[in-house]
Amino acid sequence: MGTTRVIVGLGSCGIAAGAGKIYEKIRAIKDAENLDFRLTRTSCIGMCYREPLVEIIDENGQYLYGEIDESKAVEILNSHIVNGNPVRDYIVYTDLYDTPDRHYFDGQVRIALRNCGMMDPEVIGEYEAREGYAALKKIADENILPPGIIQEVIDSGLRGRGGGGFSTGLKWKFTYDSKSDIKYVICNADEGDPGAFMDRSLLEGDPHSVIEGMIIAARAVGASGGIIYCRAEYPLALKRLRIAIKQAGERGYLGRDILGMKGFDLDITVKEGAGAFVCGEETALIASVEGARGMPGRRPPFPATSGLWKKPTSINNVETFANIPWIMLKGAAEYSRYGTEKSKGTKVFALAGKIRNGGLVEVPMGITIKDIVFKLGGGIPGDKKFKAVQLGGPSGGCIPEYLSGTRVDYDSVNATGAIMGSGGMVVMDESTCMVDIAKFFLDFTRKESCGKCTFCRIGTKRMLEMLERITEGAGREGDIEKLEELAYQIRDNSLCGLGQTAPNPVLTTIRYFRDEYEAHIKMGKCPARVCKKLITYEIDAFKCTGCTVCARKCPVNAITGERKQLHTIDQELCTSCGICYSRCKFDAIILS
């Protein structure tokens, strides 16, 4: 077989975009025409905005083709594979010359995502060929003892990438120091915010790096049981995890006396979660694993000393574990040269919202929000004005454009009122209503509250009711102050991180966009023209052509007028549904 490889991105995002059909089309042509190349699959490379993606690697270099359909796939095979002529119009990235999407990768430092989109995640040999399990072998060959592993992780400066940002090495040390014959390591792959997209993509694209990280953690803390807690809504991630665990066991990376390390035994199992956001909190996760309802418990004691089945348990998320093999292989000093003084290494972000290049990026800590949005993310579609980012998932905070120079590190982000979270970054433009955004995120956290704490269970409901009134034009004087008072009560009196951070979207939007709240309450207007009950639709007399489309489409017959004559809208009948605005081809409908 020839050395040319054709690789199709078959992560969840690629499959959703139609990559499965493209893979089958390429395979059918290969077989029918007896073409000489190797066809393989990979997962998400992070460039979700260009899916489906097909990469060709030949003797001349690498060529990544984006937004491919079946007809383009046929054209690429005929031109590139058969005739040796790459189709430049479809290439989104190559290392041979400049391309429109080069900036997307040039600003990244890929450590956690180092293998995603670069190998077949269902073939352990491909992981091993990319230094997979080399870190574990190094520990075995050099007889690096648990204190040495822990110190290396401490020296690297790695902090938990799941939201809290606590030192990973110190957490391991607490578990190591806890006296018990039975200990556990748990991988939290159940986070329910946009950062969960990162978890899913890592598990789909590089499950072995997470497993290797867990094995190293188990060696460090003295654990013999490992659990990956993954939501059941990730069927492809679960499938590839189970394949990887089986392969690791067959290679001797799991089981008894791993790689000759006497007494080091470890089995890893997968526990499917129901997708409850609160189970991203470690004590709620533990309760769920034990078969109880996923509700948080009091701390202390912390899981590091009394966790699963009351045994010492070290819990980290997917991204944290994925960093561990790289750190152990390359060294703490190499890892800590990225980032800032107190936030070392890199961070994966899931870019979503009003941004051109939505997907996954991995950047060094210390990069500015503005650079992520404009250099990697490509800026705002339609040349609209950048307004804010919501950082940290549903319970994160909204950071305004004028603070976009904020560096992405734990202390700087926390100072804005937002949180790092597990890496969700939702970009908003001038058409976004910040009151409506606060309502949207609070509605999510209210629904996901386990109900254990009165402040969280009832307080978020009362806050949501006020926000609903405000966006419907029934806001009252004093509502803003009541929202703030309730938010602080919920934050200060809730048991777990969900309740403590749930008010963040409201507090930060009041802090930075108070004028929008006041416009809703005092003027009965939505500056962004999003809240339907605060929008008035009128017809521009100079632009109306009398085409009658708006009148015919109005569901309540609020628009009248003869053909080729000026039309009018009866404000008493108008329900502000917006159909006339969306259907008018002459921009004759005015929003006020």
Distance CA 77, CA 79 (A): 6
* Amino acid letter for position 455: F
Give 34's contacts (C-beta < 8 A, 6+ positions apart): none
Averaged pLDDT, 474-486: 96
Q: Per residue in 508-550, pLDDT tens? A: 999 999 999 999 999 999 999 999 889 899 999 999 999 999 9
Judged against a pLDDT cut of 90, whether residue 576 lies above it is answered with no
Judged against a pLDDT cut of 70, whether residue 195 lies above it is answered with no
Judged against a pLDDT cut of 50, whether residue 1 lies above it is answered with no
Q: Per residue in 495-513, pLDDT tens? A: 888 899 999 999 999 999 9
Give 79's contacts (C-beta < 8 A, 6+ positions apart): 85, 86, 87
pLDDT at 532: 87
Q: Per residue in 278-313, pLDDT tens? A: 888 899 999 999 999 999 998 899 999 999 999 999
Q: What angle do CA 5, 9, 15 make, to 5 degrees?
A: 140
Averaged pLDDT, 156-175: 92
Express as a percent the part of the chain with pLDDT over 70. Answer: 99
Distance CA 107, CA 92 (A): 16
Distance CA 242, CA 265 (A): 19
Q: Which band of pLDDT confidence, cut at 50, 70 and 90, is reported for residue 196?
A: low
Q: Count Cα neighbours of 104 within 13 Å in the Cβ-side half-sphere.
A: 25
Distance CA 522, CA 207 (A): 53
Residue 527 and residue 433 in contact, taking contact as beta carbons nearer than 8 Å: yes
Domains and CATH numbers, the chain: 5-101 (3.40.30.10), 124-335 (3.40.50.11540), 346-429 (3.10.20.600), 434-523 (1.20.1440.230), 536-591 (3.30.70.20)
Residue 437 and residue 400 in contact, taking contact as beta carbons nearer than 8 Å: no
Judged against a pLDDT cut of 90, whether residue 391 lies above it is answered with yes
CB neighbours of residue 53 within 10 Å: 28
pLDDT at 549: 94
